[in-house]
Chain A
Amino acid sequence: MENGIRIRLENFISFLSSYSKKHNTYAPVQTDETLDYDYINDLNAGAVVLNVPKPVTPLKLFFLPVKENVTLDDPQEPGSLIVGVPSCDLNALDILDEIYLKEPFVDPVYQKRRANTILIGTDCYGHQEHCHCTTYGSNPYPERNFDISLSAFADHLYLIPASEKGSNLIDEMKGTVSDFEELTELPNGITSRRESAVTELQKLNSKLPDYERTGELIRNVNNGIWDKYSRGCVSCGGCATICPTCSCFLLIDKPGFEKVRQMDACQYPGFARVAGGEDPLHIRSDRFRNRYMCKYVWKPQKFEAVACTGCGRCIETCIAEINKNEMFAELAET
């Protein structure tokens, strides 16, 4: 708990407001219909919502934008502060870092952005309809891949650094906010809130098989279940776009030997097509199956990391109302 502090919510907001004048700052803001990350300035800093699950868009979009030139010699990445990141998004960095930061093929833009970004992770008090992080082995509060964890209790925020970047930011906060206390431990109120969030999530998903079991189930299932659940799929790729761990892309050539990376999805027809026209994933239900094999069998086998962090966004976004959790619960029953 070294260098942790307790500060009043309004002091944190005024810090964000002044910090945002010098640095790109993002935090969840509630609009009429949605809660999502927004660019913060002194006008909207007061609308920041903390400890509520969860921003509509995944964290990955800060590091892997939908479309960008990846061949610039010296990409400028001034760095950002991102506040209010839920654990499902933080945990997704396990897979993204494996893919984008591993030697010898380090992605230069991703690396620079990761290095220059400060992540403040937050507890989720409560849950959304399709949240299921606990089923897949994690908890609804920051566990890894963050610089500072932030938990609210009563009128105060409890900030605990987990990295040098986080520690430096807390030092900066101490320099501008007079009214803070050094923290020795988290109050019981936060611990019990965490416990009840976990209990609620477990109750909500009591019929859902865990991550490993899901992998076993889908590895051995016949085609019937994929046909049944993919029937309404229109191959829009929404599930992949909004998934915090999906990161497949297309490289598009531009004159001057430049290349633009554009987000792609294995649900699009033609994703796996090779020269000459052969396409191992030309059947929709095969693409649908591919998504879950990738998440629950192949990626964990390859990276020893969880490729579905249980955020539930793919269920929320699907225009065909395909609910993978219903599918897996059905599989577990049969």
Chain B
Amino acid sequence: MQVSNNNNIYRPLKAEVTDIIDESPLIKTFVLKPEHDFSFRTGEFIELTVDGVGEAPFTPSSSPLKKDELEVTIMKTGYVTDILHNIDTGFTLGIRGPYGRGYPLDKLYGKEVIIISGGCGFAPIRSLMLNMIAEKEKFKKVTLCYGAKTPEECIYKPFVNEVRQVQGFDVFRSVDHKDDSWDEYEGVVTGLLDTLTFNLEDTVAVVCGPPVMMKYGTYKLIEMGFRDEDIYLSMEKNMSCGCGKCGHCMMGEYFVCKDGPVFSYDEIKHLPDIWN
């Protein structure tokens, strides 16, 4: 396992920004080339450092099968991300990790998988889907329900088109407010679930998005009859050190950075305020 540079858990590896892709007005994807190969499992996260400024956790959005570069999709939403949105290619960032427990692929093999995602929460899901597409024969069916506020804010448009070409994979999208360009669903993302049918005994759900979407997405799945242990959630807290020490991401008895960020609902439902 690579945890850092020079065997010091706090010192980042350097990584050059080789490309920046505009995904939506507030979301960009940064292609990073680390100074040496960097591997991660899908759903594990990294700490991304802007030198001398700050550090923030992100789950790579690229395929874990790629070792020489990785992609991180970032929404402009705070101090570090504001600065990241103003850098150009050629800039050197730092990465630490990978950290945490990613998606439980072994629990998804042989199953139907329903994914509910919203906004920038598509980023880890893209990595998961790239991983699943690479071994698509291992899944019965994969369905993504993705929601954004407006058509303009839908990210990964070319990727969605590619996924729709893959046999056994499907993507349904919703926007809160449509415009003339939109011929898909209008409404909240959970509304898409009413248009689909599942074999509950054989389906596992994955949810990743803003807290309010995670909450109502999970409630909707339970209402539909999903078992708590078949719903996987990506919990995003203030992961700072990434390795279960600094305490900022504690959620009940869990260090989200080490024990998560992916949990089954069954593992965390006893805790108060998980949706905050």
Which residues of A come within 8 Å of B, CB atoms? 70-71, 73, 99-100, 102, 104-108, 247-251, 253-257, 259, 261, 264, 266, 271-280, 293-294, 297-299, 301-302
Contact = CB atoms under 8 A, between A and B. Distances in A.
B245 A71 contact: no
Contact of A298 (B80, B243, B253): B253
B247 A256 contact: no
Given A104-B3, A257-B49, A272-B238, A247 B245 contact: yes
Interface stretch (B4-12, B105-113, B171-179, B196-204): B4-12
A273 B10 contact: no
A277 to B, nearest CB: 8
A66 to B, nearest CB: 14
Q: Which 7 A-B pairs have the closest CB atoms?
A: A248-B247, A105-B243, A275-B78, A255-B52, A280-B276, A298-B253, A301-B253
A267 to B, nearest CB: 12
B247 A266 contact: yes
24 contacts: A71-B11, A73-B6, A73-B8, A102-B244, A105-B9, A105-B244, A105-B245, A106-B9, A107-B245, A108-B9, A247-B245, A248-B248, A251-B240, A253-B53, A254-B52, A256-B52, A257-B14, A259-B10, A259-B11, A266-B247, A275-B81, A280-B237, A297-B253, A301-B253
Given A104-B3, A274-B237, A253 B50 contact: yes
Contact of B250 (A254, A276, A294): A294
Nearest to A289: B272
Contact of A257 (B94, B244, B247): B94
Contacts of A261: 10
Interface residues of B, number: 43
Contact of A256 (B51, B54, B78, B255): B51
Given A107-B9, A264-B246, A276-B77, 6 more contacts: A108-B7, A249-B247, A257-B12, A257-B14, A264-B247, A297-B253
Contacts of A275: 56, 77-78, 80-81
Which of A272, A275, A280 neighbours the largest number of chain B CB atoms within 10 Å of its CB?
Answer: A275
B253 A248 contact: no
A152 to B, nearest CB: 37
B54 A253 contact: yes
Contacts of A279: 276
Given A108-B9, A278-B211, A298-B252, A250 B246 contact: yes
Interface string B1-44: 10100111111101000000000000000000000000000000
A277 B79 CA distance: 11
B55 interface: yes
A108 B245 contact: no
Interface of B: 1, 3, 6-12, 14, 49-56, 77-78, 80-81, 94, 211, 236-238, 240-241, 243-248, 250, 252-255, 258, 273, 276
Given A108-B9, A253-B54, A274 B247 contact: no
A276 B52 CA distance: 21
B107 to A, nearest CB: 23
Contacts of B7: 108
Nearest to A298: B253
A104 B276 CA distance: 30
A268 to B, nearest CB: 11
Given A105-B3, A251-B55, A257-B14, A274 B236 contact: yes
Nearest to A300: B253
Contacts of B3: 104-105
A69 to B, nearest CB: 9
B237 A250 contact: no
A99 B276 contact: no
Contacts of A266: 247, 250
B248 A272 contact: yes
A100 B3 CA distance: 15
B245 A100 contact: yes
A247 B247 contact: yes
A247 B248 CA distance: 11
A171 B10 CA distance: 38
Contacts of A253: 49-55
Which of A255, A261, A280 neighbours the largest number of chain B CB atoms within 10 Å of its CB?
Answer: A280
A247 to B, nearest CB: 7
A100 B243 CA distance: 9
Contact of A71 (B8, B52, B254): B8
A253 B78 CA distance: 16
Contacts of B243: 105
Contacts of B254: 302
A187 to B, nearest CB: 43
A311 to B, nearest CB: 20
A290 B211 CA distance: 21
Contact of B276 (A70, A278, A294, A302): A278
A261 B28 CA distance: 30
A251 B94 CA distance: 14
A251 B78 contact: no
B173 to A, nearest CB: 23
